[in-house]
Structures are given as C-alpha cells and as structure tokens.
Structure 1
C-alpha cells in the first residue's frame, strides 16, 4: 500500500510540474507577443548614388575588407575599416534623434560627414576618397530599407576651390542647392539636382529628415563634376 500511495503521489507531482511548465510557456509567449518587433525600425538607409562614403566602402570592400590590396587601392576605406568596421557594416544607421531642425547649430564643422557620431569619425577625414563622376545635373538616389519616407532632403555641394583631399567639410564650405518636398514611404527615392558652375572633385552633402519621427541623417558623397 505504501508503494501504491507513493506512485500516486509521484504521478500527481509530475502532473503538477507539467501544468506549471505549460503555464510558463504560455506566459512567455504572451510576453514575447507584447514586445514590439524592432528589426525594421533599426534599418534605415543612405544615398547609394552618388554613393555615400560608408556605403561605397561597404559595397566595394565589404566582402574582402581584409584583402591587403585594399590598403593601396582604396586607402581611405582601408583606414575606415581599421578604425571601426561598424562604420561600414551599419552604413544605413548614421542617424541622430531630436535635432529639431537645428542641424548647423548642433553639428560642428569638420563633423558633417559622420553626422557628429564619434564612432564614424573616419568619414570626416580628408583624403583620396573614391568619386562618382556626374554631370552638371544628375539624379540622387536614396535607398531606405524601412520605407520611412521623408519630410524633406536638404542638398548641399562644396564651393568651387574646396579641396576634399586636404579639408574637412564645414558649413562655410557648402552651398545649399535644393530643399525637396515630402516623399511618401518607399524603399527607393530619387530627385534631381544641379551643380552648374562647378567642376572637378567636390563633396555632395545631404540631410535626410525622416518622416516617422525626428530623426536626421547626414552623408557625404564624393563626386567628380565633369
């Protein structure tokens, strides 16, 4: 009889454990269901043509960033990868929150290409960045993986005589050439710009004010105006 009672007690204990486990699994599922999925919100975008500095490095060297030839063929990207590979791996996340449109006041000279993010400071360094050849009028293309849309883009280009191989970009080096209107959410956005009156190597500087919240993105693209 004692053995039989023991078996019954053990059975009740196992049943209670199973019920407790089922309860925990259900609770966990409910908690997970209440947590918002943030994957899309963490993915953003950049100017892909003419390619921003980080995007150009990632596109050209992402699959071979340890290739020794990179040091001679693309020394600026080489330095950037050596300093912080995350600058290139996260080419679509160069953003700051809550600037309230105070871009110049809150972005010091010499830090425009990194959007004043210290982790991306190599993007501010002057040097022989690879350029995209453009005409006096061309189309700027942005890729936005999360389709945030835009309140506007502000597009600047460096003044004639600016030397991107020896100078960091400051506000005084730039001319505002256009401010666009709003764009509906889409992964691919493009707009036309004119840089007439300039020739040779320049930096195209673009600010993207995303529509989903007060997020500002800033990028430098190196161009050769032919």
Structure 2
C-alpha cells in the first residue's frame, strides 16, 4: 500500500456537535491488534454478547470485566504528557497504569497474536475513534523477551523503531503508519504504542502481541470485524447549505457495536449540526460515531443519522465513504 506522507499534520478537530460521547481522543492499534481490540474481537459472539474464547482474554475479563473490551480504544492517562519510563510502572505497561485495564497486564504467552516478518515493511493501522493532532512512537521488545514475566521497560528497546511526528492524515477512520520492523528477532514479541496528543496532556498506551520469523506453530490471524456498508443521501440543498442523511447497514453475521462512518466533503464544506450520532470534522474528512442508544446493530439492521452544513458546492458531493 502507498505510504501516507508523515509530514502532513492532521488538522485539529473542528467540533463535536452532538452530546453523549466524551469529546476526547480515543484510539488503539487494530493492525496488528492491541490486546484490548484483539480480545474484543475474540469475545464477540453472533448475539453480540462478549464471551472470550482465548484463555488470556478470558483471564483478563475475569479481572477487569467486559467493559474494557467495549472500551478497547480507551487505554489512556489524562496527565500522561507523553511520559513512559518512570511514569508507567513496570508490569503495568499494557494497561497504561490504569486499574480499569489491569487484566491486560497479565504475563502470559497465549494472548491473540499476529504473525509478522522481522525486518519486513509493515503498515500499522491505528483506529482513531476520535481524532486529534499528535504524534506516535512504536517500540518493540528485545530478543529474548519472556512473555510469561511481567512486561518492563527494560524488555523494550530504548528507542522507538517507528516515530510519526506529526502523525499522518486520517484515512478511512485511522492513522496509517509505515515502518520497518527490526531484524534479528524471532518468536513472540510485543509492539508497544504511545500516542501523544499535542493539544492536551492526554496520552494513549497499548500492547500488540506478534510472532516474528518462521514460527513452527504461528497463531491464526485475529478475526475480522463485522462487515458493513454505508451510504449518504442528499435530502435537500440550497445556495450555501444542505441537509443529508448517512445510513450504515450491518452486512455481517454478527452484532456490531459502536459503528462509525467516514467520508470526504468538498473543499470549503463545513458540517454545522447533526443528530442521532456524534459528528466531528478534520479538514475535508467528516466522521460520525454511533449515539449511545443506536450503537448496536443486529445482522441486516441499519441505522441512520442526519446532518446539515454549509458549502460553496451546490449540490455538495460526498466521496470516499467507509464504515467500521
């Protein structure tokens, strides 16, 4: 895939139009999956209930409950200010030192893991539940790392193998980071992600478990999220303004939670009001997240949300529509 230019900064979040979801940044790696996201996918049943099958995920739920899986994008410290060693205690790296996610600090060798190639080029996908300007640092464990012992800062390379400062533009609901994994690593490892906001002290932390090299018994890849489709219908337009409806449909065979739709608007277009969802805009990219009351969709079920805005284009055309 083509690398997104790392020299382009994300335009600051314009506004949150509908109350109900905190107007703060949220996100985590989904490829390779963070522990919280991997366990969220592992635990999803066709009924939409959370019932982890992976032993490590089940153990984490036994300690922390199921809410951290629904909040897989929220491993954060509001006063982090980008701090790492000396701030997040050893043994608590994967939870970011947050008691809510303490179950994901368990020292185990059976977390869901993705197979990658040491020395290979990788596109890391960090899902931005709420986008904000900032920077990324990705670290990896040293050769000889023992997953059955609590993860410490000494287990990680001192310097990140990938830095994106500023972070790349938002694409299809995520930040795509292009990097090369260090060579000379085999077996089980942890990729540790730090997302530092530049507009506040809020900082996100996360562990992604991976297998490097030619492991004889590589784990299966993480399950794919539920399939979906999305469309936007222009309901009305007038000189300088418009009203439209966005509709998302669950095309998969299991229940969806916390859906989101992203699209591109013409230059100079601003979304000014919205309902039945939480809207945000960064430049020409607009996203809507589910409201609390319509966040779950059964297979075949749809949800709609409306919005109005101003635009020099008449009628405005919405492109690059994607959902998750």
Fold shared by both chains (TM-score > 0.5): yes
Q: Which residues of 2 match residues 1-226 of structure 1 at below 5 A?
A: 37=19, 39=21, 41-42=23-24, 44-63=26-45, 67=51, 70=52, 73-83=53-63, 84-127=65-108, 128-136=110-118, 137=120, 138-150=122-134, 152-164=135-147, 166-175=148-157, 176=159, 177-183=161-167, 186=170, 187-191=173-177, 192-226=179-213
Distance 1:210 1:100, change over 3 A: closer
CA–CA distance in structure 2, aligned partners of residues 216 and 209 of structure 1: 5
Distance 1:99 1:40, change over 3 A: closer
Checking the alignment, whether the CA contact within 8 Å between 1:42 and 1:93 is kept in structure 2 is no
Q: CA deviation at 1:80?
A: 1.6
Say which SS state the counterpart of residue 145 (structure 1) adopts.
strand
- Deviation per CA, 1:124-152: give whole Å up to 9, x if none: 101111110011222211000212132x1
Runs (4 or more) in structure 1 with deviation over 4 Å come to 64-67
CA–CA distance in structure 2, aligned partners of residues 66 and 218 of structure 1: 23
- Deviation per CA, 1:142-187: give whole Å up to 9, x if none: 000212132x1111111101121x1111100101323222025623
Say which SS state the counterpart of residue 122 (structure 1) adopts.
helix
Q: CA deviation at 1:188?
A: 1.1
Q: CA deviation at 1:79?
A: 1.3
CA–CA distance in structure 2, aligned partners of residues 181 and 43 of structure 1: 17
Say which SS state the counterpart of residue 224 (structure 1) adopts.
strand
Say which SS state the counterpart of residue 44 (structure 2) adopts.
helix
Q: TM-score, normalised by structure 2?
A: 0.53
Task: Return the index of the structure with the highest Cα Rg.
Answer: 1
Aligned pairs, how many?
Answer: 186
Say which SS state the counterpart of residue 190 (structure 2) adopts.
strand
Checking the alignment, whether the CA contact within 8 Å between 1:149 and 1:185 is kept in structure 2 is no
CA–CA distance in structure 2, aligned partners of residues 142 and 193 of structure 1: 16
Stretches of structure 2 that go unaligned for 5 or more consecutive residues are 1-16, 214-324
Q: TM-score, normalised by structure 1?
A: 0.75
CA–CA distance in structure 2, aligned partners of residues 42 and 213 of structure 1: 10
CA–CA distance in structure 2, aligned partners of residues 184 and 221 of structure 1: 20
Q: CA deviation at 1:38?
A: 5.6
Q: Quick check: 97-106 or 208-217, which moved more?
A: 97-106
Distance 1:131 1:49, change over 3 A: same
CA-atom RMSD in angstroms: 2.1
- Flag the structure with higher helix content: 1
Stretches of structure 1 that go unaligned for 5 or more consecutive residues are 1-34
